[in-house]
Amino acid sequence: MTTQSIENQLNRLRDKLRYHEHKYYVENQPEISDADFDLMLKELETLEAEAPELITPDSPTQRVGGAVGFGERVRHYSSMLSLDNTFSPEELTDFDRRVRQMLPEEAVEYVAELKIDGLGVSLVYEDGMLTRGATRGDGEYGENVTANLRTIRSIPLRVASIDSSPTLMEVRGEVFIPRDCMDGINRERVENDEAPFVNPRNAAAGSVRLLDASITASRPLDIFIYTLGYAEGIEIGTHSESLALLVEMGFKVNPSTECFPSIEEVIDYCHRQTAERENIAYDVDGIVVKVNSIAQQTELGYTAKSPRWAVSCKFPARQTTTQVLDIDVQVGRTGVLTPRAILDPVHLSGATITHATLHNEQDLHRKDVRVGDTVVLERSGDVIPKVISVVKEKRDGTEKVFHLPDHCPACDSPVQRSTEEVAVRCVNSECPMQLKRRIESFAWRSALNIEGMGPAVITQLVDTGMVTSVADLYDLQRTDLMKIERMGEKSADNLIREIEGSKSVPAARVLFGLGIMHVGQSVAELLLDRFSSIDALAAAGVEEIASIHGIGPKLAESVCHFFQQPANQQFLQRLKDAGLQWEADDSPAPDISQESFFTGKTFVLTGTLSQMARSEASKKIKECGGKTTSSVTSKTDFLVAGESPGSKYDRAVELGVDILTEEEFVAKLPVD
């Protein structure tokens, strides 16, 4: 056979496979069985193996492998903006009013689409071939994830040609995982000793950023394209025209998209979709409403971070009911006893809920939650589930009223009830449970930032008696840590390094880490802005402290009380002797008058930075108007990863948090 005829045969086979891939993955209307598809793919693979020089990157056999630049930071052709949120029909009407005010006398048409709760990505096609796929990142720069996006079979590696195919084109869409695939993925993760994903969004984000594209290929990822971002040489009049064009080119566009001449009909659509929400196979967190005319979009323009021609309408928080199997009691770092409902496990917004806090005895009795009750649970986004109310009609008389115990469940000492506050406390300063919580908050809560000092390690340190005070952490030796179950040499070294590193954390965060009642992160900063050091604060009287704007007498009293306790004085001396920062940071107040990349963003630092200490990086972020926290949550905007990042890195990947290398981070900092 001549090369030409082999090539023709290969092309015919590829076209057929592309056609069936499109039928199956984009249109959900397969025409042949999976087995027949696989046979055809095998045939192509065999032929290509015989003529490897004829393999093209857009061949259906080339979904895994073959992309370069994975993980690199790439600049988007135009910013990937976010949307302003609305939560009610009134707010949508306001949006409509604003739009019409800017477009007097003009008819306005809206397109309403589902807001898919996944990972926003950009796909670049050059001469019809997919050449780059990137995450949204900070909107301006994303992460090159081409190799992984190529494995998603609803993404065409080559677009179908249209009348005047653009030479350069960028499309944007949302990668997601259908809800019913979560169980399978999580079962596999648990078997591999990995934490299950809390919801489909995290699963999608984690899968797209995996280093091994063959694992990504095994995940049931899918995509809906919602924007034709840039298309050289193509003139488009409306957003709906661009969606039609995208469909023509072979992209998967959400079929629920509709066009309306008035906001009332859009609101109607929102109501219909909200009612349908549970029946949709993937997570949708609201509706996106866009002005259809591109000319009008241009006329309306943008604010600093979002377009004036589009808005999202968020769905209300999801609720469900379940049974309270029992109520147990947790002891916090200041000894407060907190009742917690143990629930019949229930699925809500992509997570299995097994516990919910009942806050305090008063709240528990106000809601009248009893053991055996059926309760309404609510969870919005990633936040902790809340017990909203009790379904009293479901009671059968066997429910048991719960009272907080008279003795601490951890150390058995009598608890203190005061008439002044709601909280019931264990006042035993040696209560092991309180100590564990104190170490936890000392190490984790935006305080001393000791990575690796997690609940399991803390439990062992306290239960074995190695640590009987937070200050003992600074006496720990490598050999002590090695006695801890599952603690290897490397982890012990890392933990010692982390403890050492915490000595450079600014004094305000040390103060916060002490766990003084009512002294949160910002109060700690306020106190140290006024007093030059922790010692100066310790020597101050109630009135002097209370004279600070923003500090009330109750808080001032709590601070004084803490420093007056002889046991605390000893403990503080030990921390100071260990070398912790004690003096207030007297660098100039942060200049946040100018908007910067950091303004309003939350960062987490992990691993060893080579150009500066973590505390210095943290200070710089603050100076630029951002903030740093110690643990990665869905609210984290960026993780700055230095050398040998630990579990925070994995958590960031899991949650889809954007990751900056040290170089990228330094490049964002203003030049001194």
- Residue 546 · residue 552 · CB < 8 Å: yes
Pick the closest to residue 126 from 74, 163, 171, 175 (CA basis).
Answer: 171
Output the smallest distance, CB 69 to ligand IVH, in A.
22
Look up 115 and say whether it is catalytic.
Answer: yes
Which DSSP state fits 595? -
Q: Is 111 or 439 the residue whose CB approaches ligand IVH more closely?
A: 111
Q: Is 225 or 390 the residue whose CB approaches ligand IVH more closely?
A: 225
> What DSSP assignment string belongs to 631-667?
S--TT--EEEE-BS--HHHHHHHHHT-EEEEHHHHHH
Q: Is 255 or 520 the residue whose CB approaches ligand IVH more closely?
A: 255
Output the smallest distance, CB 141 to ligand IVH, in A.
14
Q: Is 83 or 551 the residue whose CB approaches ligand IVH more closely?
A: 83
Minimal CB distance residue for ligand IVH = 120
Q: Is 668 helix (H, G, I), strand (E, B) or coil?
A: helix
Q: Is 297 or 629 the residue whose CB approaches ligand IVH more closely?
A: 297
Q: Is 174 or 472 the residue whose CB approaches ligand IVH more closely?
A: 174
Can you tell me which residue has the tokens 């916060």?
A: 512
Number of Cα atoms under 13 Å in the Cβ half of residue 350:
28
Q: Is 146 helix (H, G, I), strand (E, B) or coil?
A: helix
Output the smallest distance, CB 117 to ligand IVH, in A.
7
Q: How far apart are CA 154 and CA 173, in angstroms?
A: 12
Which entry of 23, 115, 386, 483 is annotated as an active-site residue?
115
Can you tell me which residue has the tokens 């109310």?
A: 389
- Residue 324 · residue 342 · CB < 8 Å: yes
3-state secondary structure 398-460: CCECCCCCCECCCCCCEEEECCCCCCEEECCCCCHHHHHHHHHHHHHCCCCCCCCCCHHHHHH
Q: How far apart are CA 639 and CA 484, in angstroms?
A: 29
Q: How far apart are CA 220 and CA 197, in angstroms?
A: 14
- List residues binding ligand IVH (CB under 6 A): 81-83, 113, 115-116, 120, 136, 174, 226-227, 288, 307, 310, 312
Q: Is 6 or 81 the residue whose CB approaches ligand IVH more closely?
A: 81
- Report the largest interatomic distance among the alpha carbons of the chain, rounded to a whole angstrom: 96
Show the CA angle centred on residue 456, arms to residues 453 and 462, nearest 5°. 80
Continuous H helices in 51-180: 89-102, 146-149
Q: Is 120 or 626 the residue whose CB approaches ligand IVH more closely?
A: 120
Output the smallest distance, CB 464 to ligand IVH, in A.
48
Output the smallest distance, CB 113 to ligand IVH, in A.
4
Output the smallest distance, CB 196 to ligand IVH, in A.
24
Output the smallest distance, CB 93 to ligand IVH, in A.
20
Q: How far apart are CA 534 and CA 532, in angstroms?
A: 7
Output the smallest distance, CB 273 to ligand IVH, in A.
12
Strand partners, 659: 639
Q: How far apart are CA 486 and CA 489, in angstroms?
A: 10
Output the smallest distance, CB 291 to ligand IVH, in A.
11
Q: Is 174 or 662 the residue whose CB approaches ligand IVH more closely?
A: 174
Contacts for 521-524: CB closer than 8 Å, 24+ residues apart: 521/445, 521/446, 523/550, 523/551, 523/555
What amino acid positions are annotated as catalytic residues? 115
